[in-house]
Amino acid sequence: MDKKNLILLKTLLLSTSRVNILKHSKDKKKKNKIIAAYVGLFFLYAMIMAYSILMCVGYGMMGIIDSVPAMCALVISSLAFVFTVFKTNGYLFNFKEYDMLMSLPFESSTIAGCKFLYMYIKTLPWYMSVSVAMLIGYAIFAGVGPVIWLYWILLSLFIPLIPMLAASFVGFIIARISSGFKKTNFIKTILAFVFIIFSFSLRYIIENFFENGRAEQTLENMSEATEKASGIYLPMGWFSDAVTKGNIISGLLLIVVSAALFLLLFRIVGRSYRNINSALKTHAAGGKFKMTTQKKRSLVTAIAYKEFRRMLGSTTYITNAAMGEVLAVILGVATLIFGFDVIVSKVTSGAPIDAAILQPAIPFIAYFLVGMMSTTSCSPSLEGKNYWIVQSMPIEKKTLYQGKMLFNMCLTVPFMVFTVLCLCISARVPVINTLLYIILGTALCAFSTAWGCVCGIKHMRLDWENEVEVIKQGPGVAWYMLPNMFVVMILVVLIVFLGVRIDHKILALIFTAIAGVLALISYKRALALAEKR
Amino acid sequence: MLEIKNYSKSYDGGKKAADNVTLTVESGDIYGFIGHNGAGKSTTIRAVVGVLDFDEGEILIDGHSVKDEPMECKKITAYIPDNPDLYENLTGIQYLNFVADVFDISAKDREEKIKKYADLFEITDALGDQISSYSHGMKQKVAIISALIHDPKLLVLDEPFVGLDPKATFTLKEIMHEMCDRGTAIFFSTHVLDVAEKLCNKVAIIKKGKIIAAGTMEELTEGHSLEEAFLEADNG
């Protein structure tokens, strides 16, 4: 790492540092928002830490505390891989200040490497929250000395590197392949979807590899599975060996291999960096347009259509916004082909659950996927520098957000209906129940849209450097996703529990009413917030 | 100082945005590059400064190939894009220090240069504020100062006068003359033909990616105005 790398890395971090804004901004409101965002962030870190410590305590009480180091490496590696898969395209390629950086005397590999390190440092607090918490949990039961504490923390810094490099390498391959096509963005988006779906399926592929579908059901097998995983994914084993046996060689291996892979990857990426970015940032002007009859749209529809085009224009946006919809289609089709029972058994890893009792949860299962992300939670911020366009137009503020909400409804409802239909057909749900589930699913989508909009407007941020900052890391998205995910999980358990006692139709009606009221409250709140903008 | 030899660039393997462009900018030249919107000016400029990859031809800066020795070229070049994307959350002074660090400028030299040019462009007081609070013209001024900080041998500007107030436009023209006297080569694109006529000693006209006329101002205008010469070449 030479001086120039450090200068660039420092500047990249400073340019998105909220502390820097806090220091130099004169806007009190902005400063208060930043402080609130920090408080929220620390709250999230604390939640993750508490969860990780409790998990270790559980392991300790079950007598499998020795599996914790390997589990820690596995959790961090998985998180690092998944986080990077979604971000790599926006961070490494096609970023806003590409022209400025490339015209300065930096090697292409330096720019790409620093962008990677920036991404790594920005996500490190999440990984370290898990690691430190698991170390505390491990130390309570295993009683480790101060050297191991230091060794654990030091090596934890390296655990995310290899999975992040692997995800970045795939991102590079995707960008390299798509840069050779005329429809660069389209190919890039398709390949990104294929890769993400493959990554999500990895769990099942690994399970099949172990040829033991019920591996995690017994404690012995859990420990055995962790050992097997360590044997396959070597860095996991190196970390575990280093902190449990104090093996210096294993620790060194983790550090050296991570560093070597970093250098190798960015040497390769640097060679075609300019070529890839040239292809991604420039497009041929066809110049063949002929004026034909143009369609007139209502104001709200026109805004919704604008949102649709915005999503299609960005691989990062579409892979994040539409991933749930794609997974919902896959689930629906898979259920039709293999049957509801088989899919339930697969997802619950063969747990003895009667698939029939899950029927009332069908709309929530579909919603869990399509409502995973709401475009309204980030689309207000995504206006960015273009916000002046809608601001200077004779559009009422609430109309702008109604358009954004309409788009999210158009995106989520058809996929929700398709998935609910597939699941209901496969599970042989009566027609009347199916219709009620579709209505409940629609109410949930309305809630997701309006609640997303509340979060999106409340945490609106227009001065971003890279759209990844608002799509993946924006507080609006975080405030939408986490409560939404937990609430849905709780509701699934609740509806399954109630489903054995109360008629499914009545249950669907009750939950539709609850979701409808929540959607209405959120909608009113979103419009009230819009007026203040 | 700058030699562009048979440079061609096509997007997505289709229509050529730049087609067999050849021109030479000598030290001390102020070379204007004019043409319609979408004629290929920015495509050529972005290839010169090493931002855009290209298919055919050769671009040399002080004898170094942009393709094969990009670092050698970038060390002696400065580029000011038409719409500079600066780091909005940095303050003006933080951004200028970043560029000065990249070019390894001593503390004394950078202080001197930043003070000189910031005073000339009247933005010294604003350097402690975040770039996000700047107007387009102020951002342009910061981009210009960052380009001048390392005394480049070749200064490449894409529509440099867009967004600048009249006084800043005058100051920039003065700076360009001063640099030209010191032997710096200046290559810039513009739509403002009056400015080009008064400022440049050489001009090239590009149309649909091809150079349709190039030479000294006298050769090109032959006693007419640059506007007339441009329209004639464009219609021809």
CA angle A388, A452, A128 (to 5 degrees): 100
Q: Looking at the structure, tell me whether residues A363 and A507 fall in a common domain.
A: yes
Q: What is the pLDDT along chain B (236 residues), one digit of tens a residue?
A: 899 999 988 876 567 888 889 999 999 999 999 988 888 898 899 999 988 888 789 999 999 999 888 888 988 999 998 888 888 888 899 999 998 888 888 999 999 999 999 999 999 999 988 888 888 889 999 999 999 999 999 999 998 888 888 999 999 999 999 999 999 999 999 888 888 888 899 999 998 888 988 888 888 887 788 888 888 777 76
Q: Closest by alpha carbon to B139, among B158, B164, B159, B156?
A: B164
Domain boundary among A259, A285, A311: A285
| DSSP structural state of residue B128 | G
What's the sign of the alpha-carbon dihedral A162, A168, A170, A176? negative
Reported in sequence order, the residue ranges of chain B that DSSP labels E, i.e. its strands, are 2-10, 16-25, 30-35, 56-61, 64-65, 77-80, 154-158, 185-190, 202-207, 210-216
Its pTM stands at 0.78
pLDDT tens per residue across span A304-317: 988 998 898 888 89
On whether any CB of chain A is under 8 Å from the CB of B118, the answer is no
DSSP secondary structure of A388-455: HHHHTSS--HHHHHHHHHHHHHHHHHHHHHHHHHHHHHHTT--HHHHHHHHHHHHHHHHHHHHHHHHH
Look up residue A381 and give its amino acid: S
Q: Which of A99, A184, A283 sits opposite B85 (nearest CB)?
A: A99
Q: Are A381 and A452 contacting, i.e. CB atoms less than 8 angstroms apart?
A: no
Domain range for A186 is 32-285
Question: Are A261 and A329 within one domain?
Answer: no
Which residue has tokens 């229509």? B15
Grouping H, G, I as helix, E, B as strand and the rest as coil, residue B201 is coil
- CA-wise closest residue to B160 among B117, B196, B126: B196
The pLDDT assigned to A43 comes to 85
Residue with tokens 């015209």: A103
Q: Considering the domain boundaries, does residue A196 fall inside one? A: yes
Backbone angles phi, psi at B87, to 5 degrees: -75, 105
Asked if A7's CB is within 8 angstroms of B85's CB, the reply is: no
Which among A4, A259, A5, A192 is positioned nearest to A115, based on CA atoms? A5
Element at A365 (helix H, strand E): helix A362-370
Does residue A119 fall inside a structural domain? yes
DSSP state of B187: E
Terminal-residue alpha carbon distance, chain B: 31
Q: How many Å lie between the alpha carbon of A193 and the closest alpha carbon of chain B?
A: 23
Q: Give me the residue label for tokens 């951002």.
A: B139
Instruction: Give yes or no for a contact between B9 and B43, defined as CB atoms under 8 angstroms apart.
Output: yes
Which residues from chain B sit within 8 angstroms of residue A97, using beta carbons? 85-87
CB contact under 8 A, B15 and A287: yes
- Decide the pairing of beta strands B202-207 and B64-65: unpaired
Angle between helix A299-312 and A397-426 (nearest 10)? 70
Quote the CA–CA distance of A390 and A302 in Å, as a whole number. 12
**How many domains is chain A partitioned into structurally?**
2
Together in a domain, A307 and A370: yes
Q: What CA–CA distance (Å, rounded) separates A373 from A470?
A: 13
Q: Is residue A20 part of a domain?
A: no
Could you write out the DSSP letters of every residue in A204-219? HHHHHHHT-TTGGGSH
CA distance A326 to A320: 11
3-state SS assignment for residue B83: coil
Residue A448 within any structural domain of the chain: yes
Task: Please indicate, yes or no, if residue A108 is contained in any of the structural domains.
Answer: yes
In 10 A of CB B65, how many CB atoms?
Answer: 14
Residue from A276, A258, A441 nearest A360 by CA? A441
CB contacts, 8 Å: A14 with chain B? 87, 89-90, 94
Of the residues B88, B155, B156, the best mutation for testing chain A's interface (the one with the most A CB atoms within 10 Å of its CB) is: B88
Strand order in the sheet with B185-190: B77-80, B154-158, B185-190, B30-35, B202-207, B210-216
Residue B114's pLDDT is 92
Q: Do B28 and B176 form a contact (C-beta atoms < 8 A)?
A: no
Q: Does residue A72 sit in the same domain as residue A45?
A: yes
Number of A to B CB contacts under 8 A, please give it: 105
| Residues A516 and A422 grouped into a single domain | yes
Domain boundary among A285, A320, A338: A285
Is residue A290 included in any domain, yes or no? no
Rg (CA), chain A: 24
Place of tokens 């649709």: A308
Nearest to B207 by CA among B1, B5, B44: B44
A219 found inside a domain: yes
**B100 — contact with chain A (CB < 8 Å)?**
no
- Encoded tokens for A384: 């960015």
In angstroms, how far is CA B57 from the centroid of its own chain?
A: 21
Cα angle: A13, vertex A16, A20; to 5 degrees: 90
Residue with tokens 């009230």: A528
Let me know: does A111 contact B95? Beta carbons within 8 Å: no
A116 and A220 belong to one structural domain: yes
Specify whether A250 is located in the same domain as A363.
no
Collect all residues of chain A within an 8 Å Cβ-Cβ radius of residue B67: none
CB spacing of B75 vs A16 below 8 angstroms: no
A498 and A462 share one domain: yes
How far CA A60 is from CA of A49, A63, A68, A350, in Å, comes to 16, 5, 9, 25
Given CB atoms, is B88 within the 8 Å cutoff of chain A? yes
Cβ-based contacts of A108 with chain B (< 8 Å): 70
Q: Looking at the complex, does the CB of residue B27 fall below 8 Å from at least one CB of chain A?
A: no
What torsion, rounded to 10 degrees, do the Cα atoms A304, A307, A313, A318 define?
A: -100
Q: Which helix (H) or strand (E) is A518 found in, with range? A: helix A504-532
List of chain B residues whose C-beta atoms are within 8 Å of the C-beta of residue A26: 129, 133
A283: nearest CB among B12, B98, B132: B12
Q: How far is CA A137 from the centre of its chain?
A: 27
A262 and A304 share one domain:
no
Whole-number Å distance between alpha carbons of B31 and B199? 9
Facing residues of B32 across strands? Answer: B188, B203
User: Is A337 domain-assigned?
Assistant: yes
- Cβ distance of B13 and A182 shorter than 8 Å: yes
Residue to mutate among B19, B43, B51, B73, with most A CBs inside 10 A, is B51
**Residue A262 corresponds to which tokens in the numbers above?**
């970093």
Residue A461 in 3-state DSSP?
coil
Residue B15 is nearest to which of A102, A284, A465, comparing CB atoms? A284
- In this prediction, residue A244 carries a pLDDT of 86
Cβ–Cβ of A21/B89 closer than 8 Å?
A: yes
The reply to whether A456 and A521 lie within a common domain is: yes
How many angstroms separate the CA atoms of A450 and A524, rounded?
8
Co-location of A205 and A330 in the same domain: no
Q: Do B38 and A285 touch (CB under 8 A)?
A: yes
CB contact under 8 A, A7 and B103: no
pLDDT along chain A (533 residues), means of 10: 85 86 80 83 87 86 84 90 82 82 89 91 92 90 83 93 92 85 81 82 62 49 67 85 87 93 90 81 65 78 89 87 92 91 77 78 93 92 82 80 95 96 93 95 95 92 82 83 83 86 89 94 93 77
- Per DSSP, the three-state class of B180 is helix
The reported pLDDT for the residue numbered A215 is 43
Helix, strand, coil percentages, rounded to 5, for chain A: 80, 0, 20
Q: How many helices (H) and strands (E) does chain B have?
A: 9, 10
> Which of the listed residues A260, A285, A310 is the one where a domain comes to its end?
A285
- In the structure, how many helices (H) and strands (E) does chain A have? 24, 0
Same domain? For A386 and A352 the reply is yes
CB A144 within 8 A of CB A56: no
Of A21, A24, A96, the CB nearest to B85: A96
